[in-house]
Structure formats: C-alpha cells, structure tokens
Amino acid sequence: MTVDNVAIEQTPSGDAECTGRPRLAPGPRQGVLQRAVTARWPVAVLFTGCLVGVWQISGVLGRLPPYVLTPAQIVGAVWSYAVDGTLLGATVDSLRRLAVGFAVGAGLGVTVGLLAGMMRPVNALVSPLVSFTFPLPKIALFPAIALWLGFSDRAIALVIALACFYPAFVNALAGTRGIDPSHLWVADNLGASRWRVFWQVFFPAALPRMIVGVRISLALAFVMVFATEAISSRPGLGFVIVESYQFLRYDRMYSAIAVLAILGLIADRLLALAARRGTRGHDIGSISRG
C-alpha cells in the first residue's frame, strides 16, 4: 500500500486534525451501466421485455398459430373480462379457497415442524408418517376426499392444505437441526424456560428455513387451486381456463392464465418483502430476494 492510497480521516467539523486511524481513500464510483448490470431487476426486466417483444412481433407478422394470442391481445382480453366481471368473480373464489388452504397447511406445517425439532417424542411420532405420505401426489387424494366432503370448497381447501403442509414442515424441522448446541447450553445454564428457549433460540434459528418452506407452500397452493377447480368444475380461475379451452375461447383462457400468474407473482413478492423485514440480522439474502 502506497502513501497515495491512504487518506487521513477528518473530524466531523471538517478540521484536518488526524484521528490516528488511517483509512483507505474511496475507490472509483461505479458507473450507471455497471450498476445496472450488477443489479438483478434491470437485467430481468430487459430480458423479459425482449421475449415479449419477439412474441408480439411474431404475432404481428403472422408467424404464430391462431390459438396463440399476442401479448397485446391478452392484455386487451384481461381488461375486457375484468370489466364484465368474469375474471373478478373467478378470482375472488380462487383466492378464498387458496387463502384458507395455504394458511391452514403452512401454519400447521411450521408449528408441527418446530415442535418436532424441539421434542424428540413428537419427531418420533410425526416424521415416519410424513416420510411415508410425502411422495404421494396430494391431488391424487382429491377424489377420495370428494367422497367424504363432495366437490366443495372445503374439499378444495383441504387438498391445498395437505399440499402446503409438507414443505413447511420439512423446512421448519430442518431449521431446528441447524441450531448451534452452544446456544442451547447457554440457555439451559441461565435457567431459561422451555417457552423462552423456543422464542429466543429455536424460532430465530429456524426462521430462514421456515421462510423457504412457506414460499414453496405458497407456490404449491396456486398449483393446487388450479388443479382442484379444473377437476371439480367449481367456479374459479381453474374452471375458467379449462372451460375456455373446451369451447375454444382462447382469449378468455389466456386472460385467466395471465391473472393467475400475476396473482402468484404479487403474493410471492409480498411474502418476500415480509421476510426481509421480519428477518433483519439473519443471513437470508438468497431466500428473501428470490
């Protein structure tokens, strides 16, 4: 290190008085282009824009089959069916079932996973059952559940809850396995109660993995709400998509698909934002940024 690369730190008043701690002179500032390339969202937006542009131009030039609409046509269809209420009613129905199933499934998964991580008897009781049923596609249980509850909203919410339970449980349990044993030793020596150990040791340590599980559960909830509505023919976005396909209403089909995708994106971004604000101080950069 040369003398030219070392600057003397000045006091806040701007005097030239030396504080006795040399600091490195600031390096050259990044240019606008370099910052744009380093950041993730401009690159993603540019790439997506290029794909949409190629898609639109191909449609204008007549290179697409008649059943593939251009982005402009899809946007127009979304607006048209949103105005006449077709998409609004279907969206409300789908979100209601999705919210109930996701909240119940992910909530139970996180709770049981944390309990299994803290208490060996709970882990010994639950883990074998989870291992046995985890590989089973939850949509395969829908006909059996329908025999019990019919093709009702309760049956749909139950299937969604089952699908959301497993990722939340597995990740919450895995989060408790990564706790530093010295933290538990210190808490035990300080005489902390089991409840305090849970909130101050287990929960913060497992939080990053819990967020991963909840985000996976959210994605599965959107998949399952479409599948169950398509099978049961209950009013919702899934039913609109399948019915439009059957009657060759491609504009309505693509508009429902677009709305479902937008809702999934918004829900995931809101969850990621809540994760960043609720887990400050944790090393979850790759988790919350998605």
Q: Write out pLDDT tens, residues 138-192.
A: 999 999 999 988 888 999 999 999 999 999 999 999 888 777 666 666 666 666 6
Query: Which among 171, 78, 183 is positioned nearest to 130, based on CA atoms?
Result: 171
**In terms of Cα–Cα distance, which of 279, 278, 277, 170 is closest to 217?**
170
In whole angstroms, give the CA distance from residue 244 to residue 221.
22
Consecutive H or E run containing 12:
none
Q: Is the pLDDT of residue 125 over 50?
A: yes
Task: Report angle CA 149, 235, 246 to the nearest 5 degrees.
Answer: 115
C-alpha torsion angle, residues 46, 50, 53, 59 (rounded to 10): -150
pLDDT at 76 over 80: yes
At residue 106 the predicted structure's pLDDT band, cuts being 50, 70 and 90, is very high
Residue spans in the chain of domains classed CATH 1.10.3720.10:
71-289
Would you give the DSSP letter of residue 136? S
Query: Is 66's pLDDT higher than 80?
Result: yes
Closest by alpha carbon to 167, among 208, 129, 211? 211
pLDDT of residue 19: 45
Q: What is the pLDDT, as a whole number, of residue 231?
A: 92
Architecture of domain 71-289: Orthogonal Bundle (1.10)
pLDDT band for position 107 (cuts 50, 70, 90): very high
Distances from the Cα of 205 to the Cα of 122, 127, 190, 201, 254, angstroms: 19, 20, 19, 6, 43
- How confident is the model at residue 215, as a pLDDT? 93
pLDDT at 193: 67
Query: Partners of 220 in the beta sheet?
Result: none
pLDDT above 70 for 243: yes
> Quick one: pLDDT band at residue 282, thresholds 50, 70, 90?
low
Reading the block at residue 258, the tokens are 């677009």
Q: Is 93 helix (H, G, I), strand (E, B) or coil?
A: helix
